[in-house]
Amino acid sequence: MSTLSFTLRQAPTQPINLSALIPSKLAGLSLGDIEALPLVDGPNALQVGDVFAVSGSLGETIAISGGSSFLDHVGEGLDQGTIIVEGKVGNHAGRGIKGGKLEIGGDAGAYLASTAKGGIVHVKGSAGDFLGGTRPGDRFGMLGGTVVVEGNVGQRAGERMRRGVVVARGKFGPAAGSRMVGGTLWTEAGFGARPGPLLRRGTLIGPSVDELLPTFADCGRIDPVILGILSRYVAQTLGPLAPKPLPPLVRKFAGDRATIGKGEILLTA
Amino acid sequence: MSAITRNGVTIDDTFAEAFGMSGLGLVITADTLKWAKISAQVMTGFGTSVIGCGAECGIDRELSPSETPDGRPGVRVLMFGFSPDALKPQLLNRVGQCVLTSPGSACYNGLDSPTKLGLASGPRFFGDGWQTAKKLGKRRFWRVPVMDGEFVIEDKCGLTTEAVGGGNLLILGRDRAGLLEATEAAVDAIAKVDDVITPFPGGIVRSGSKVGSKYKGAIASTNDAFCPTLKGAVKTECSPDTIAVLEIVIDGLTSKSVAEAMRVGLKTIIETGAAKGVTRVSAGNYGGKLGQHHYHLKDLLP
């Protein structure tokens, strides 16, 4: 499989928008064309060739060697193929991803996979605030697809999220699932304080919650069939990255009853 | 009509005439295979013929936990009707009354097809506003709170208009008990073929019909040509030694699957029938003018 490689010439000193570097946008371009693509406009304008040494040939995979929190919008709008980043990335990585796979070797900034519609985002480090969330002007956050974060996740993950699954090996920060309309947040380590403010629908799964909102109602222990469906779905979608299957019994808290309250926090421990 | 004899069983040179139908597949799961089967049996009950039942239904096969969306044992059921519109009320009533009500059950799409029919369009409203949906990938699952937990039902199920109804074998014998045993064996063999059902009781029908009747209002009546008790009184299809005739009717999602089911059934009868008193195998048709699908027995011989 042919790979197109981008190697950072030096550590960036200003935010760089890498949304142009996805296989479908680069299709048909020569290495020279790719190096001439603009990345930053204005007085400090930069082209791809100024930032990266480009090598290889375009196929299904793009590899970005190095990493920096100034690398924003990595894999934005990815619809097919794979993007592998060696190190960390900045904000908006995987925004609006529709298909394919984005693999980030280090940490990711804020708004990871916001408005994602499909595909898989895999972060080997931690992720920032508003994972799968909304930027100003977005009606909804994540709309589909799957995100796996090996580390912890920042505040307000899944803000106005509608569909899709986010799995974290680590912990979600405070107010995860805020204003969420649907979808699933699943942690193997637990939720920070007060998850699910104004949660309408959607599912938050984890072993523990630091502090529950008073507007969540304890529904006791339940064994719904959907647990098996979720476990199988993530196993099929993520393979070895999937979390451990859910236990047969969970404790359900229904909420947020400050709004329609059809969401749920499912405690696995 | 020239017939072929195989292993002591005469195979008539005739064909089964079958019709184009609409078909759909469902997967029904439960906590145990026993309860998945109970739900499926009740749901497919009274589903022998579209004439009086609205749909022809049956269990295609059992599914292991690894084959179902929720990791529980299940069965795949098939439903056939004249048209997608004719299947809609059947699906609603059968799933609503027989699957939703069955302990621990869940109901999923069981047929990959670009054409879909609403599966949860009715049953989800049983939730009275407490129902929620979970969309995973391309599949949407409705969760309806019920007294034993949640009834999960997939939003849509696949539909095909390429299905075939009415593939058949007529089996003639000179011993009633032996004929039934041999026909049962053929039904068991057909059950192993995917994508087909034999919708009549135990897969066997003893009251084959002809089109029309001497009575006004009856659209079908007894197939007197195959009634052994009339063999001297009518233009009979029975042999002089025929004591009884049994028919296996086969519905399938594809013409190929129906042909395969008939082939397997015929093979079983030829292999085991003569010893049990089977004398002949024939097939039901209407002269070839009504049905789009013709399955000639001589083409299906092993």
Domain boundary among B118, B139, B160: B160
Q: Give dist(CA A108, CA A119) in Å, integer.
A: 17
Average pLDDT over residues A134-139: 93
CB neighbourhood size of B147 (10 A): 6
Which residue of B35, B99, B109, B135 to mutate against A (max A Cβ within 10 Å)? B135
Asked if residue B262 and residue B179 are part of one domain, the reply reads: yes
Q: What is the pTM assigned to this prediction? A: 0.93
What local confidence, expressed as pLDDT, does residue A118 receive? Answer: 96
- For residue B67, the chain A residue with the least C-alpha distance is A232
| Residue B42, φ and ψ in degrees, nearest 5 | -70, -40
Question: Which residues make Cβ contacts (< 8 Å) with residue B260, sequence separation at least 6?
Answer: B193, B196
Give rounded-to-5 percent helix, strand, coil for chain B. Answer: 30, 35, 35
CATH of the domain at B91: 3.30.70.520
Q: Chain A partners of B135 at a C-beta cutoff of 8 Å?
A: 144, 163, 182
- Cα B95 to Cα B77, B89, B152, B156, distances in angstroms: 11, 10, 12, 13
Rounded Cα distance, B56 and B47, in Å: 5
Q: What residue in A sits closest to B141 (Cα-Cα)?
A: A226
Average pLDDT (A21-29) is 93
Stretches in chain B below the pLDDT threshold 70 = 1
Chain A nearest-CA distance from B266, in A, is 40
- Kindly indicate the confidence band of residue A183, based on its pLDDT and cuts at 50, 70 and 90: very high
Supply the pLDDT for residue B1: 54
Convert the pLDDT of each residue in A59-102 to its tens digit: 899 999 999 999 999 999 999 999 999 999 999 999 999 999 99
Residue A7 C-alpha, separation from nearest chain B C-alpha, in angstroms = 34
Give the count of domains, chain B. Answer: 2
Same domain for B138 and B179? no
The DSSP result for B19-61, as a single string, is: EEEEEEEEEEE-SSHHHHHHHHHHHTTT-S-HHHHSSEEEEEE
Residue B290 pLDDT: 83
Question: B104 phi and psi, to 5 degrees?
Answer: 70, 5
For residue B211, the enclosing domain spans 4-18+164-300
Question: Percentage of chain B surpassing pLDDT 90?
Answer: 94
pLDDT digits 0-9 by tens, B52-83: 899 999 999 999 999 999 999 999 999 999 99
Q: Rounded to whole angstroms, how far apart are CA atoms A181 and B87? A: 33
Among A140, A201, A226, the residue to mutate for chain B (most B Cβ within 10 A):
A226
% of chain A surpassing 90 pLDDT: 96
Task: Determine contact, residues B264/B185, Cβ cutoff 8 Å.
Answer: no
Closest CA to B251 of B121, B89, B79: B79
Q: How many residues does chain A have?
A: 269
Q: Chain-centre distance of CA A248, in angstroms?
A: 27
Question: What is the reported pLDDT for A42?
Answer: 87
Mean pLDDT of the region A125-137: 96
Contact: B149, A224; criterion CB under 8 Å: yes
User: Do residues B39 and B169 share a domain?
Assistant: no
Across the interface, of A203, A222, A229, the residue whose CB is closest to B149 is A222
Q: Do the chains contact at A262 and B130, CB–CB below 8 Å?
A: yes
Residues of A with CB under 8 A from a CB of B: 144, 163, 165, 182, 184, 201, 203, 222-226, 228-233, 237, 262
Are B73 and B91 found together in one domain? Answer: yes
Q: What is the pLDDT of residues A238-267, one digit of tens each?
A: 999 999 999 999 999 999 999 999 999 999
B286 and B174 assigned to the same domain: yes
Q: Supply the pLDDT for residue A1.
A: 61
**CB distance B136–A225 less than 8 Å?**
no
Q: State whether A226 and B149 contact (CB < 8 Å).
A: no
Same domain, B50 and B155: yes
Question: Which of B160, B187, B208 is at the close of a domain?
Answer: B160
With contact defined as beta carbons under 8 Å apart, do B18 and B165 qualify? yes
Asked if the interface predicted TM-score (ipTM) of this complex is over 0.90, the answer is yes
Do A205 and A266 contact (CB within 8 A), yes or no? yes
Q: Do A232 and B133 touch (CB under 8 A)?
A: no
Pairwise CA distance, residues A151 & A125, whole Å: 5
Contact criterion met (CB < 8 Å) for A203 and B134: yes
Tell whether B153 and B212 lie within a shared domain.
no
Average the pLDDT over A106-129 and give the result.
97
pLDDT the model gives residue B211: 87
Of B160, B195, B215, the residue at which a domain comes to its end is: B160
Pair B121, B172 in one domain: no
Instruction: Give the sheet arrangement for strand A171-172, strand by strand.
Output: A171-172, A190-193, A209-211
CA B217-B218-B224 angle, to 5 degrees, is 150
